[in-house]
Amino acid sequence: MDRRTALESHVRSMTAERVAVLLTTLTEGVVRYARATPPTLLHLLPILAYRPGAFERLTLAHHQVLYAAVGAVEDRERLREARADQGDPWERVPGPVEHETLLARLDADRPGLARVRAEATVADLVDLALMWPDGRNGYHLPDDAIEQFGLPHVPPTVREGLGRLDLAGVRRVALTLGLDPTRERATLTDGIEEVLGAPERVVELCHAARHDVAHLLLGHAFLGTEARTFLTRGAGEPFSVPADGTGDSDLDWMFEHGLLLPPEHPGDGLVMPREVALAVRGAHPWPFDPAPQAVVGVPLDRMTPGGGADVAEGSRAALTALAGADVRLLEAVAERPPRLRVDGLLMKQERRRLARVADGDEDLARVWLEAGAVLGLLTVRLGRVVPSEQAAAWRDLDTETRLAALAEAWAGTEDAALWWPAPEGGSLSRVRSGRARTRWALACALNDLPWGTSTGVVGQRLLAERAEGREPRTGARWLVSAVTWYQPSVEAEPDTVGRVLRALREAELLGAVFGGATTEVGRALSRHCRCRWEAWPHGSPGTVAAVRCGLGPAPPDDERSGGSRRSPEGGADGGMAAGRGLAEERTEDGRGETGRTRWGGGSEGRQPRRAGDPGPEPGIGSRVKEAGTEGGRSRRRDGGARDGGGSGGTRTGSGRAEAGCGLVGPGEARHRELREAARELFAPGWVGGGADGTEGA
């Protein structure tokens, strides 16, 4: 089945609602195009692998599967370019990749947990139409997949690379490989080509390299990275390496063994030749990390004197402070709306005024203001930030719902400051290449920390140490790696470490983290974010219950530490004892026997579920695996009736309304409008549906 026919068959197996959600990952202009029809929109889906709203949901595991799929296509074509002088020209539109071939490239072709996790990741990509079944136990890839995930340049052959070296360089390589360096250049080239053309000899050379050099060789082979030498050469001149080397012993070793040679275009770097790259890629699987790196936490009793009791009390203090600041800041904004500068950021004197309202805590005021924008509580009129028309409904909500909605809104904010920049970012944070969500990724990572343990780091202290130029501690480095697993695009933004540490400080202000340990609120927020990519701030029941637990009845004065305050009015209703909270609802760290950690695209982790608990909404690629694989194709057991990523509002499959705060933010409003526009195009006469033949909602 050709790629377009296979894509149309795959999309028409979905419900109209699911297709509408899928089409919202296209640009707004495309969905709203006056003459848009299902065929034209289906034609646009496979063109781009990078679709906002789809590509950003992918975790590191999904990126690695796409790299492996494209790598399988490149290996099949022997890493050659599309030129007629090399035989039949190769169109750089990737052909289908067999299911078992893809799993083998990930070293997951044998029965076991690795295969289950790999197939689940593939199913996620199929749900997003970043891969789709070809009808013959394989998958098609988007048209530009090779440009997005392939080698950045076509590697030269050994003969081509040697041809760009001077004679001294060729003799140096020949001598290292055990050849007679006194022979003629043509003879030396033939001998080196014979040695490096034998995969077993290349593997032996890689095994003889030091561990750090072998690691570099994998990057050159799989990702096509270029080794910088800072040696200059003119166009048409041979590449010359000084007799005493480049100054980099690792680079000199790889060059002397012919594992790195000059590329086709003049430059100052070296690349791995084609024969060597194919040998290394054939001997090693593609990296596949189905879950973040495991962490060995610090026991709580070593981090805080009271252990879990201190964590519960610290969370209560943070929630109490946030509840009071919420009321005061809303009154301050309503009484005197803050002014914005021409660039859209708050004026400095306005930031100082709001910080004073928040008891001098600038981070707390900034979190409330930015979360209020995502929540739809605040808006801009005539260059001033003012309460929206929904503010009246906000004032009528109970404390727990308001705090839960603020926490979920915080998790849904992007890295770029809307009105109030982070201290280390300034206006520069408004210039960015993507829509990274460091806060969402941090919230997801909170449940990777085992119960009763801490990372051993505190956000405010880390920020102070970073300002002094100190290196981040071990716990902070793990946190950065976990965040970048859930949101790889974070690494493409400036100052990744600084943004992660700032997000940790903000999570502490929300009562989600205390003393480096995840609180009840943090675990509920983490479950909420893992269940869906579009974590609309509705104040979900699980988060509200955790906040109520955190605000619950304060211990007697003789049992709590000095300086703590009682929960605000209404916060203790129905609350449980501090420190216990949602003990019955808590899950393992997401990497247990039931499956891997939840990814970033609107699905849930394979977590235990209590009897009678409906659990989180299934979203795209649910880890409960309502979508299985059969013959390499995705199939649904629920008839496909799901809204694909948790857009908020309703659960499409069951029709049950989600309890929430009743506010609709601008991001959610735009998403709903796009879904409605796409649904109008596909709902009439839509052929797609579930296994029972019914159409979508």
pLDDT tens per residue across span 536-587: 888 889 999 999 999 976 544 444 333 333 333 333 333 333 222 323 333 3
The pTM of the full predicted model, rounded to 2 decimals, is 0.80
Do 678 and 23 touch, CB atoms closer than 8 A? Answer: yes
Using alpha carbons, select from 369, 371, 361, 360 the residue that is nearest to residue 330.
369
- DSSP string across 392-433: HHHHTS-HHHHHHHHHHHHHT--SS-SSS--TTTGGGGG--S
Are 663 and 669 in contact by the 8 Å Cβ rule? The answer is no
The pLDDT of residue 559: 42
Gyration radius of the chain over CA positions: 28
Output helix, strand, coil percentages for the chain, rounded to the nearest 5.
45, 5, 50
pLDDT recorded at residue 280: 96
- Identify the pLDDT of residue 694: 39
pLDDT at 558: 46
SS (H, E, C) 638-650: CCCCCCCCCCCCE
Looking at residue 557, its amino acid is D
φ/ψ region of 178 (left if φ > 0, alpha if ψ in -120 to 50, else beta) reads: left
Residue 633: which H helix or E strand, with range? Answer: strand 633-636
Q: Which residue ranges in the chain fall short of pLDDT 50?
A: 83-85, 426-434, 555-658, 690-697
Token pair 């880890």 is found at: 623
The whole-number pLDDT of residue 508 equals: 96
Per DSSP (E only), the strands in 109-241 are: 132-133, 138-140, 227-228
